[in-house]
Structure 1
Amino acid sequence: MKTLGIFRHAKSDWNDARLRDFDRPLNPRGRKGAALMGLHIRDHAVPWERILASPAVRVTQTVELACEAAGMTPSITWDRRIYLASSATLIDVLREQEGDPAAIMMIGHNPGLEDLIFDLVPDDGNSPLRDIVEEKLPTAAYAVLDLAIDSWDQIDLNCATITHLQRPRDLDPALGPDLGPDSFR
């Protein structure tokens, strides 16, 4: 059995149209959400042995704020392939992991992370948490999956069960969706 954590970056800022997508920072709501989720991840107490993350600015800021709030200083592997990756690419990154850690957290972007959950967790009607993800895996959401595998190179479709899902809005309603013009970005 392996454990996979999925943490989507917090809400990013769209105000500077000159910035490349890769360089977009977090907005104030994202900064608050990242810190709050850092505390939740700490309190959820999964011993993450390896953290793999996209090096995009909004991800690095999410990680920095979450770790600062939680008082953690984990070792992080920044992998450019995670930036805007498809589920298939994310699975390839996971299959390559050496040293056989029991628990890996991946921090990145949608739609790849959401699709990864859909590919790993069967759509068999027995997962209310998967059903919530089908509505949307919002920014700064955190999910935990148990994988029925002995090593990461065995990861395959429908090998997981989603055991935990936390959205920022469930901890602080002010971090829920706003219905303004940029609410679906």
Structure 2
Amino acid sequence: MSDEPTRRIVLLRHAKADPKDRTEYPDHERPLTPRGRLDAPRSGRWLAASGPAADHALVSTSARTRETWELTAAELPGPPSAAFEPRLYRAGAGEVLALLGQLPDDTTTVLVVGHNPGFRDLAGSLAGHGPQEVRELLEHAGFQTAGVAVLSFTGSWADLAPGRARLDAYWSPRL
């Protein structure tokens, strides 16, 4: 048995937002659609029932991620403190991985609210193992809006690298 701590990453993609081509808002300010405002609390309820409790949340500064976080957090029994992180907006997998690598050692579980394609790419890259059906579900679903991926690994945040994590769960309101 390893003395290294088990850490968890909960990736929550923002809920459905106004399409870029049909909105008067700049991309960073696109709000959630009515469907998105229904799906985000559903993700919160799933996390409250099935997901690990997070110590901390990192949330992209976009309007759709902030709104997703507010609606999701309202469903959690004791939501974690949140930091609004501008580097998560439009971040690729490598940029999100670098942010995770900077987390303090006293963080066991982090919930990150952000965007595709970075989340899809990061989850796929990190998931070196895990139940085959969960890995296939994520691969085929493509990390849907309001989707949640839960990954775990042992070691420090600085040790996190592609292939080191286990994909424990993937859920979306649309599955």
TM over 0.5: yes
Counterpart CA distance in 1 for 2:110 and 2:145 is 19
Cα deviation digits, residues 41-77 of structure 1 (max 9, x gap): 1112512011111010000101111122345443101
Find runs of 4+ consecutive structure 1 residues off by over 4 angstroms. Answer: none
SS in 1 for 2:75: helix
1:34 aligned partner: 40
Change (3 A) 1:71 1:150: closer
- 2:151 is equivalent to residue 145 of structure 1: yes
Matches within 5 A, 1:78-93: 78-93=84-99
Cα deviation digits, residues 96-148 of structure 1 (max 9, x gap): 112431111111000000100111012x796221222212110000111111x
Counterpart CA distance in 2 for 1:34 and 1:72 is 17
Change (3 A) 1:45 1:97: same
Greater per-residue strand proportion: 2
Aligned 8 A contact 2:127 2:166 in 1: yes
1:132 aligned partner: 137
SS in 1 for 2:116: coil
- 2:166 is equivalent to residue 164 of structure 1: no
- TM-score, scaled relative to structure 1: 0.84
Counterpart CA distance in 2 for 1:71 and 1:146 is 22
Query: What runs of 5+ residues in structure 1 fail to find an aligned partner?
Result: 171-185
Aligned 8 A contact 1:38 1:65 in 2: yes
- 2:107 is equivalent to residue 96 of structure 1: no
SS in 2 for 1:139: coil
1:48 aligned partner: 54
Identical aligned residues as a percent = 29
Aligned length: 168
Aligned 8 A contact 1:127 1:162 in 2: no
Change (3 A) 1:35 1:86: same
The Cα RMSD (Å) is 1.8
SS in 1 for 2:143: coil
Given residue 43 of structure 2, which amino acid in structure 1 is its aligned partner? M
Counterpart CA distance in 1 for 2:35 and 2:71 is 12
Q: Deviation at 1:84?
A: 1.2
Counterpart CA distance in 2 for 1:125 and 1:78 is 30
SS in 2 for 1:85: coil
Aligned 8 A contact 2:105 2:156 in 1: no
Given residue 167 of structure 1, which amino acid in structure 2 is its aligned partner? S
SS in 2 for 1:168: coil
- TM-score, scaled relative to structure 2: 0.89
